Amino acid sequence: MEDEEWQKQYHHNRVASPHSALAMLKEVYLTISPSAERIYVATRIHGFVTRRGDSYTHQTSENSKNPYEKLEWLILKSMDLDDKGEQEKTLATIKLAQVTAATLNDPDLDALLLLKQCKTNLALGNYFISEFYCQSSIKQLEKTSSHYIDIKWAYRLLALSYQGSSNLEAALTANEKALSFSKPYDINDTSYSNIATLLLNMGHLSRAEEYGKKALDIRIKRNIPQKIAQSKILLAKINLTLAKYDKAESLVRSALEGLQESTHTYSTSLAYYTLGSILHKKELSDEAIEFLLLALKAQERKSNATLTINIHQSLSQIYLEYQNPNKALEFIEIAIEKSKTAQNQIELANSYLFQSKIQELTQDYKDALEAQKKYRETLDLIYAKNTRKAYEALEFRNSVIKTEGALIETLQKQTNQQLNFNQNKYLFVLILIIIAMVFLAITLRSSHWLKNKSTAVKPLTDNSNHSR
């Protein structure tokens, strides 16, 4: 897989012939014995298959006696759980895999599991922890210039971790770092899309649109309808922020056309929500409500908490502008309850703030003050929670460093002991050799002396015999 020609052909086939690209991955998988590399190839096959709506068939068993085969099953099982949105179970499965991997002392395997930890903690909102795991994996991968695990993946996840903790400049730097590792044949639509989203959040709209268009162009060539639709929705949001409402509406309606056959309900719901937001800005309130309700209906099958809350908040805002405060209050109260259920403190704070605005307009000042108080309390909780998470991540980082330090110290002691043992052993052998050489020298010298003595005595004996 590290072969340059293979990579070029594979990336070409990802666009031109996805079936051929998948066949290439499967062929590589079959040629590798159970190892960290085969596990990595299996994860790529899993992602390739499931992103296109199919199910992955496991090639190994959890009961396998080979540790690498068992680990392959565990890691791919964690990916199955991740696809179902069961992140807590995903994390538990990865931790179980790490217990098995600890006995193998395989740096490549450790790097892969660190990336899995990063991705899952990211999905759980543990941004500081995911940042640490990504950095640890990158540190491991940067030890070699040529590696089958794609380091771009690690930097993309690191960027998302920074973005989650609102460190947007660091996120942009990490995304740019990911792009710096690109080869001419790489498909960078995901990187471009991530950068566009980040720049949108930072308010750099012209650059956001530039990167969004780059991502869309690549995805049109790849001909993956879901990805094309996602890029069009992102560009629609950028144009909505730029107040280019007609262009934004055209983009999102085109995205909805591409999603007609899609089972990806989140993308469909997001498209309806974006279209509703655009129509609201165009002061077409009836149509806006219609599409926001369609967005809610699409979410009934598979709920995404934050999007559902945002839809209720938008409906509340439109009904308040419609001079229907009771309906507005009804929707914002649903948003508050859903925020509590999802433990989404940011959206809960936003909902309390809007609730106080509605109550103030209806001259319900007592409840408005209570909502304002809850809003401030929620902000305090967010600050305290972020501080606690940052502290916990720092403590965790320190504990890992201490553990690694203790391990290095132990290994150093063992090395020194082995070195001392070897030195003593060599000294002992050297002494034996010297003794042997001295003994050999004495033996040879004695032999030589006896020989000379024997030679000296022999003539005397001969003369004696002759006289007789």
pLDDT, one tens digit per residue, over 230-251 is: 999 999 999 999 999 999 999 9
**CA torsion sign, 72 to 78 to 79 to 80?**
positive
What pLDDT digit, counting tens, does each position of 178-219 carry? 999 888 888 899 889 999 999 999 999 999 999 999 999 999
Give residue 387's pLDDT.
Answer: 77
Identify the pLDDT of residue 165. 87
Range of the domain at 333: 303-391
Is 141 among the domain residues?
yes
Query: By three-state DSSP, how is residue 102 classified?
Result: coil
Per the domain annotation, does 383 fall within a domain?
yes
pLDDT at 363 over 50: yes
| pLDDT confidence of residue 227 | 92
- What's residue 463's pLDDT? 45
Give the residue from 134, 149, 167 where a domain finishes.
167
CATH number at residue 163: 1.25.40.10
319 part of a folded domain: yes
Domains of the chain: total: 2
The one-letter amino acid code at 67 reads: P
Q: What is the pLDDT of residues 151-166, one digit of tens each?
A: 998 999 999 999 988 8
- How long, in residues, is the chain? 468
Mean pLDDT to the nearest integer, 112-131: 92
Percentage of the chain with pLDDT > 70?
Answer: 86
Higher pLDDT pick, 446 / 383: 383
The answer to whether residue 409 sits within a structural domain is no
Domain assignment present for residue 65? The answer is yes
Inside any domain, residue 351: yes
- Looking at the structure, tell me whether residues 162 and 307 fall in a common domain: no
Indicate whether 285 pLDDT > 80. Answer: yes
How would residue 397 be classed by pLDDT, with cut points 50, 70 and 90?
low
pLDDT band at residue 460 using 50, 70 and 90 as cut-offs = very low
The pLDDT score that the predictor gives to residue 456 is 54
| pLDDT at residue 403 in the model | 58
pLDDT of 467 above 50: no
**Cβ partners under 8 Å of residue 300, min gap 6:** none
pLDDT at 352: 96
Model confidence pLDDT, tens digit, residues 324-358: 999 999 999 999 999 998 888 999 999 999 999 99
Query: What's 468's DSSP letter?
Result: -
Domain-ending residue, one of 167, 196, 227:
167
Given 333, 357, 391, the domain boundary residue is 391
Distance CA 51, CA 297 (A): 24
Query: Residues of the chain with pLDDT > 90: what percent?
Result: 56
Higher pLDDT, 455 or 200: 200
The pLDDT, as a whole number, for residue 453 is 59
Element (H, E) at 326: helix 325-342
- The average confidence (pLDDT) of the chain is 86
Q: What's the pLDDT score for residue 414?
A: 62
42-57 in b/e form (b: 16+ CB < 10 A) is bbbbbebeeeeeeebe
Lowest-pLDDT range of 40-54, 200-214, 377-391: 377-391
What pLDDT shows up at residue 241?
A: 97
Does the residue 422 lie in any domain? no
**Is the pLDDT reported for residue 461 higher than 80?**
no
Give the pTM. 0.70
Q: How far apart, in Å, do the first and last CA atoms of the chain sit?
A: 99
- Residue 150, H or E segment: none
DSSP state of 129: H
Instruction: Say if residues 78 and 116 touch (Cβ distance below 8 Å).
Output: yes
Residue 230 lies in a domain: no
Q: What are phi and psi of 142, to 5 degrees?
A: -75, -5
